[in-house]
Structure 1
């Protein structure tokens, strides 16, 4: 799958890109609201968003939750991102050491794969292309890999009247990668879900809540910790859930 060219960004879109990259470079994280993300992603080929978002209705239960919870649904895929394009890799397990995930780390976790159609969806490819552009812009040339190992996670966190949903059940954490992108897909009947950012001394240095589809957070994983507060239903009689896409990049 070739990566969408982005060499012809308008002056306005270059300003949007700078508004994202400047705080990420300076502080290790950036929050970009949907009003700025959507037009920028459109320059990278964003289309078929409705089809992409609807796919969150077809995830599998995460059965690796060490806390016994059944509130998380997900699908997973890996890609290779290079200057030449985006290539999906064969399905493989997700692994984090217990140094980074004290709750669920230390084992290979096999999740349902992202479907072939969603793996080629232009909305996903646009998000990957933009994330690759940001990582390339902010990584010194001498440290840039020939290919970024990229993992994508479709997450749905469900909340019920008697049990809050835990977007980050492992608590405040780092992911053991280079770059993290968290993009809001949908919030349905939930309260809270505030993202907090902490420096390496675990001092809080920022917070925000992803509320609108395409609200996005970018994180330099080597510089900050991040976490998300539990979500609860607003109306206890209706389904309540938080859908996000998480993209991580690390050196292959």
Structure 2
């Protein structure tokens, strides 16, 4: 299982180039993120997951997911700009449950979009993935705040569409919080379904990075560790696609 903890940037780049994915533990990920900005406002950033809105597109499936969404644009250098609020769209090729529809989610709150922690995450994503695709001059970046809730009689489904690709170029999945849950293991697969690796995000800032053109990914269902207590898994997903 590829894992990165020491000398994180070269090792992670090597993993992505060789395997199409990499897992980063929280200690290494903090080093990578704080190359841009210190995460001084992380506590407030993480607390914003308590203000997510229900995902109305999954209500009929009985799954408990809350989220917010935002879109940004980025050149190889310079400021990363938030774009006007817009729907999230995937074709049926990439999302068999909810493809070919425009899904409008509540927007990421302005103070979170402007936070130091998010700026560090966006700049790292742009710079790191940009180093793997130096010919790209403009990135379309989508940001998804997710909370998956688990109940005793109903496991939470981080990826209800199953093992999939997102239809983008690169994906960062960053753990923000994990309370009273079991499992939630990220798995990476080849096109024929062969599992290439797995990693459970357990500590805030644990991360998975994926070359979406090369591999598929999924996350196993989460269940409560103590059925009598609330259970959730909070993640930030950042996707990058060549603009245009």
Structures share fold, TM-score greater than 0.5: yes
Change (3 A) 1:95 1:185: same
Counterpart-to-counterpart distance in 1, 2:128 and 2:64 = 32
Alignment check: 8 A CA contact 1:66 1:103 kept:
no
**Which residue does the alignment assign to 2:56?**
63
Counterpart of 2:203 (choices 199, 212, 215) is 212
- SS at the partner of 1:131? helix
Counterpart-to-counterpart distance in 2, 1:177 and 1:57 = 28
- SS at the partner of 2:56? coil
Alignment check: 8 A CA contact 2:63 2:156 kept:
no
How large is the RMSD of aligned CA atoms in angstroms? 1.4
TM-score (norm 2): 0.94
TM-score (norm 1): 0.91
The count of corresponding residues between Structure 1 and Structure 2 is: 237
For each residue in 1:75-134, what CA deviation from the matched residue of structure 2 results, as whole angstroms up to 9, or x when unmatched? 000000111220000000000000000011110000000000000011011011111111
Moved over 3 A (4+): none
Counterpart-to-counterpart distance in 2, 1:117 and 1:147 = 25
Greater mean deviation of Cα atoms: 64-73 or 78-87: 64-73
**Which residue does the alignment assign to 1:49?**
42
Alignment check: 8 A CA contact 1:190 1:234 kept:
yes
TM-aligned CA deviation for residue 66 of structure 1 = 7.2
TM-aligned CA deviation for residue 174 of structure 1 = 0.0
| Mapping 1:85-124, distance limit 5 Å | 85-124=79-118
For each residue in 1:169-210, what CA deviation from the matched residue of structure 2 results, as whole angstroms up to 9, or x when unmatched? 000000000000000000000000011100122110100100
Counterpart-to-counterpart distance in 2, 1:88 and 1:239 = 33
Question: Which sections of structure 2, spanning at least 5 residues, go unmatched?
Answer: none
TM-aligned CA deviation for residue 239 of structure 1 = 0.3
Alignment check: 8 A CA contact 2:176 2:205 kept:
yes
Alignment check: 8 A CA contact 2:149 2:156 kept:
yes
Question: Which sections of structure 1, spanning at least 5 residues, go unmatched?
Answer: 1-12
